Chains A and B, each alone.
Chain A
Amino acid sequence: MALTSQILELIRISSTDLPADVENAIQEATKREEVGSSAATVLQTIEENIKLARKETTAMCQDTGSLVFYIDYPECGNERIYRESILDAVREATNLKYLRPNTVEPLSGKNSGDNIGRNAPYLHFHQWDKDYVRIRFMQKGGGCENCGAQYRLPDSTLNAGRDIKGVRKAIIDAVFQAQGQGCAPAILGISIGGDRAVSYTYAKEQLFRKIGERNPDKEIAEFEVELCKELNTMGIGPMGFGGKTTILDVLVGIQPRHPASFFVSISYMCWACRRRTLTIKGNEVEYD
């Protein structure tokens, strides 16, 4: 029971209380836009909405997303207990309106009503050497998920080769294609390498990193910072109304690839970047 209520609290915080790093980045963006511009007005509305959702404990966005859980648990752990607790917490969170019922049979369109179904929520289990449990939770909105993209390099339309320059072109194209449809300003999770499935998964996992948390590789870290600046010269702006901030950060992950394949995947995350971490170490419970 304790675990179920801890996970329920994780969902509540995630859905109603935007992480501080994202909120700060939005506030910084507001300062950059010209006073009275559409971009500034949109960002101020977003700031107001964030505060209201936190104060009233209501879902900040009505699209409470697809639910993704990453569970790291110690050797003595039991997957079944986590699974059951998560499903119970998700049902309860849906009852309490922290979550909208978002799980729909693809062909009939029938909504399960409780956010439960095959691979819903999506659970990644990982047993690790540490003596504590970490549950990372993400709510991925549908509109921004639709803006995700995968490129196979070389790409002749973009004249993008199999190198970092080619990767850059692919990402710029994806941001152009997205325009304002994924609720910019956005955060980009990028994966370079992997097969098609692993590439997309790893791109999304990057979104657990905080804004400004750079890749440990110096060259990749510089690439992240430079590309973010370049993308913001495109003038798409908040909600696609034009303006100086289209992207809040670019978070790149690298993994090996098959010699024949070179995939670049982009996971596009809306400004409502809802991701939270629960850590349970003995009696100590922490939410971040």
Chain B
Amino acid sequence: MIKLKTPISEADIRKLKVGDQVLLSGIIVTARDAAHKLMYEDRPTFIDEYLKDGAIYHCGPVVSQDSSSGEWSFISSGPTTSAREEPYQAKVIEDYKVRAVIGKGGMGDKTCKGLMHTGAVYLHAVGGAGALTAERVKKVLTVFKLEEFGSPEAFWVIEVEDFPCVVTMDSHGGSLHKEIADKSYEKMKLLIG
């Protein structure tokens, strides 16, 4: 088990290989469909300080706000399907110098090249395990675009501790997803002839 803490250096990222199990701590930012479209098209700067050498988490959490203190907390927060961000991801990683993308289901060739180019990895969390992952979210620091995007799509800046994930795409072109897709394609050919 490898422990990582944001901000992460490029050198530490380059050491990671597909199959490595990682416990991630520090500040990470949730961003999904609306957020990626915005970062790709407009390149806003309000999120720069949190993303540089940091991590993007593909997640739309269930959140709760304390009525007296106004503080937010995460109730359920597993990963969402990453493939939808494929058109945007490589550019976002490069523009913001992101070191890790956390999600589920893996991403395609364009992102794979982006990870190699910038020096970043794709970390897979367990899809659907929302209750369990919320336990690793220690604090909600701030939120952007909550009104405009709604709670699932907002940029939530959170602090996590020992957030469990597996490297399924590394910065050397390795991808577990490509490997499984190729193998299952062969099996499919056997089945359907």
Q: Contact check: which of B19, B105, B132 meets A143 at CB < 8 Å?
A: B105
Considering the complex, give the chain B residue whose CB is closest to the CB of A141: B128
Q: How far is the CB of B3 from chain A (nearest CB, A)?
A: 17
Does B104 count as interface, using CB distance less than 8 angstroms?
Answer: yes
CA–CA, A167 to B182, complex, Å?
23
Identity of the chain A residue whose Cβ is nearest the Cβ of B164 in the assembled complex: A45
A240 in the interface (beta carbon within 8 A)? yes
Instruction: Flag whether A241 is at the interface (Cβ < 8 A).
Output: yes
Contacts A48-B132, A180-B106 given; does A239 touch B126 at CB 8 Å = yes
Q: Does B2 contact A (CB under 8 A)?
A: no
By size class, the interface of chain A is: 35 or more
Q: Are A49 and B181 in contact (CB under 8 A)?
A: no
Asked whether, in the complex, the Cβ of B126 is within 8 Å of the Cβ of A45, the reply is yes
CB-CB contacts below 8 Å: A36-55 with B: 38, 42, 45-46, 48-49, 52-53
Given the known inter-chain contacts A59-B75, A100-B152, please indicate yes or no for A183 contacting B184, CB distance below 8 A.
no
Closest to A158 in B: B192
A146 in the interface (beta carbon within 8 A): yes
A173 interface contact, C-beta 8 A: yes
Candidates A99, A142, A181; contact of B83 at CB < 8 Å = A181
Q: How far is the CA of A60 from the CA of B133 in the complex (A)?
A: 10
**Is there a chain A Cβ closer than 8 Å to B110's Cβ?**
no
- Determine which of B64, B126, B150, B191 lies in contact with A233 in the assembled complex, contact meaning CB atoms within 8 Å: B191
Indicate if the CB atoms of A172 and B192 lie closer than 8 Å.
yes
Partner pick for B132 among A49, A141, A183, A233, CB 8 A cutoff: A49
Q: Are A109 and B34 touching (Cβ within 8 A)?
A: yes
Judge if B119 is at the interface, Cβ distance under 8 Å.
Answer: no
Q: Is B191's CB under 8 angstroms from A172's CB?
A: yes
Interface residue tally on B, bucketed by range: 35 or more
| Stretch from A61-69, A80-88, A130-138 at the B interface | A61-69
Cα distance A184–B33 in the bound complex, in angstroms: 22
Contact B177 A62 (CB under 8 A): no
Interface of A is mostly: loop
Interface: B130 (CB within 8 A): yes
Q: Do B177 and A46 touch across chains, with their CB atoms under 8 A apart?
A: no
Among B62, B151, B187: residue with most chain A CB under 10 A: B62
Cross-chain contact A62 with B188 (CB below 8 angstroms): no
Bound-state CA distance A143–B125 (Å) is: 14
Residues 215-258 of chain A: 1 if any B CB is under 8 Å from the residue's CB, otherwise 0?
A: 00000000000000010011111011110000000000000000
Instruction: Establish whether residues B61 and A62, one from each chain, have CB atoms under 8 Å apart when the complex forms.
Output: yes
Question: In the complex, A236 Cα to B151 Cα: how many Å?
Answer: 32
Contacts of B64 in A (CB 8 A): 97
A125 at the interface (CB under 8 A from B): no
Q: Does A191 contact B (CB under 8 A)?
A: no
Give B residues with C-beta under 8 Å from A: 19, 34, 59-64, 75-78, 80-81, 83, 104-106, 124, 126-132, 134-135, 149-153, 164, 166, 168, 176-177, 180-181, 183-185, 187-188, 191-193
Instruction: Pull 12 A–B residue pairs with CB atoms less than 8 Å apart, ordered by A.
Output: A38-B19, A49-B132, A60-B128, A61-B128, A62-B78, A97-B62, A100-B152, A142-B80, A143-B105, A181-B83, A181-B106, A239-B127
